[in-house]
């Protein structure tokens, strides 16, 4: 497969002026200015192949959106090299801009007072999409997202979920080869989230489009991504198979135990972190290093009628990583 995104030693440092309080501080700042530097992205390297749908995860302020903006040419890196589809995004070549799309859940590109169709026609002209291709793609995507009846309504009169579906169509009308999705399901209800997930999965599989997806909803990541890249404090801390994330990064395993009698949670406190499901069914997170000894004690001390052992949930693994 071809390498679509290639990042080497990418760094972004924000330099901001430090303002001292009061009038005296303002006067002092006229003659002697002080600055603080923040590393939003810290020397990361990454490659993404054609057709991959990669989850790009991290807490707020980890550097996810900054990275996507540098890949899109919106921000200039402080150091490092970026290559997207064979082009350097920092030079903003027109050939690249016609081949990628950036969708941000908290930003909009549709005109607020116009029907979405009018904005689509404008984008068609900007990207020089042939009439036949434009009509075909618009019809297909509107049907898949069930928004055919919304195309001629003012955008301001649509719900958040309806607008997000139309924003996604707007980003894909020119048939991009690379898509950067930054929190596309932000603020949507569960039905709208599911509809968008199904569409993104279908689009990726049908067109073999390379997609980099950031989301704080783990359901998005688990439903769509086989590979995840985790960034924290500007550094990549994990890059690999999502199914191996728990086994490789988690310090605990989760056991689900059903007891033959009613149990008080305090009686199980010494075995690990307890999550009560009922007064007879509990989930307990036990450190891997102590799993065998604590399970033996549990089975000896209580009447256990059923027991299952699983890897810790991905969301809990991420919390452990970010806490550390």
Where along the chain do its domains lie? 3-245, 250-323
Question: According to the model, what pLDDT value does residue 242 have?
Answer: 87
Fold identical between 3-245 and 250-323? no
Q: For every residue of 205-252, which 3-state class applies, written as one string?
A: HHHCCEEEEECCCHHHHHHHCCEEEEEECCEEEEEEEHHHHHHHHCCE
Q: How many CB atoms lie within 10 A of CB 14?
A: 13
Please give the pLDDT value at position 192: 84
The pTM is what? 0.80
State the fold for domain 3-245.
Rossmann fold (3.40.50)
pLDDT band, very low/low/confident/very high, at 1 (cuts 50, 70, 90)? low
Mean pLDDT for 143-149 is 90
Enumerate the β-bridge partners of residue 36. Answer: 16
Top CATH class of 250-323 equals alpha beta
Compute the average pLDDT of residues 79-87.
93
pLDDT digits (tens, 9 = 90+) for 300-321: 889 999 988 887 777 777 777 7
Q: Which residue has the higher pLDDT, 68 or 33?
A: 68
Q: Which residues pair with 212 in a beta bridge?
A: 54, 180
pLDDT of residue 277: 75
Model pLDDT, residue 285: 87
Asked if pLDDT for residue 30 goes beyond 70, the answer is no
CB 307 within 8 A of CB 255: yes
* pLDDT for 25: 65
Q: How does pLDDT run across 175-203, given as a tens digit for each residue?
A: 999 999 988 888 788 888 888 899 999 99
Q: Is the pLDDT confidence value at 247 over 90?
A: no
User: Sign of dihedral through CA atoms 229, 230, 232, 238?
Assistant: negative
């Amino acid at each position: 497969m071809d390498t679509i995104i290639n990042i080497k030693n990418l760094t972004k440092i924000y330099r901001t002026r430090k303002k001292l309080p009061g009038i005296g501080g303002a006067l002092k700042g006229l003659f002697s200015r002080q600055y603080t530097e923040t590393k939003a992205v810290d020397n990361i390297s990454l490659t993404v192949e054609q057709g991959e749908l990669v989850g790009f995860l991290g807490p707020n302020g980890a550097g996810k959106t900054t990275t996507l903006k540098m890949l899109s040419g919106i921000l200039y890196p402080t150091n490092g090299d970026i290559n997207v589809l064979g082009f350097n995004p920092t030079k903003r070549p027109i050939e690249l801009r016609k081949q990628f799309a950036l969708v941000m859940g908290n930003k909009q590109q549709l005109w607020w007072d116009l029907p979405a169709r009018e904005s689509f026609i404008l984008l068609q002209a900007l990207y020089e999409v042939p009439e036949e291709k434009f009509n075909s793609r618009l019809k297909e995507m509107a049907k898949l997202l069930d928004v055919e009846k919304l195309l001629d309504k003012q955008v301001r009169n649509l719900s958040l979920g309806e607008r997000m579906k139309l924003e996604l169509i707007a980003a894909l009308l020119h048939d991009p080869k690379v898509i950067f999705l930054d929190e596309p399901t932000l603020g949507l209800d569960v039905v709208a989230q599911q509809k968008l997930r199904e569409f993104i999965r279908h689009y990726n599989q049908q067109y073999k489009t390379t997609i980099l997806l950031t989301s704080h909803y783990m359901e998005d990541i688990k439903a769509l991504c086989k590979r995840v890249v985790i960034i924290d404090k500007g550094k990549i801390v994990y890059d690999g198979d999502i199914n191996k994330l728990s086994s490789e990064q988690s310090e605990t395993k989760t056991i689900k135990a059903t007891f033959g009698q009613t149990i008080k949670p305090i009686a199980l406190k010494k075995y690990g972190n307890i999550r009560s499901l009922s007064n007879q069914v509990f989930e307990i997170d036990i450190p891997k290093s102590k799993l065998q000894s604590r399970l033996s004690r549990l089975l000896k001390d209580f009447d256990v009628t059923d027991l299952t052992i699983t890897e810790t949930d991905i969301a809990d693994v991420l919390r452990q990583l970010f806490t550390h």
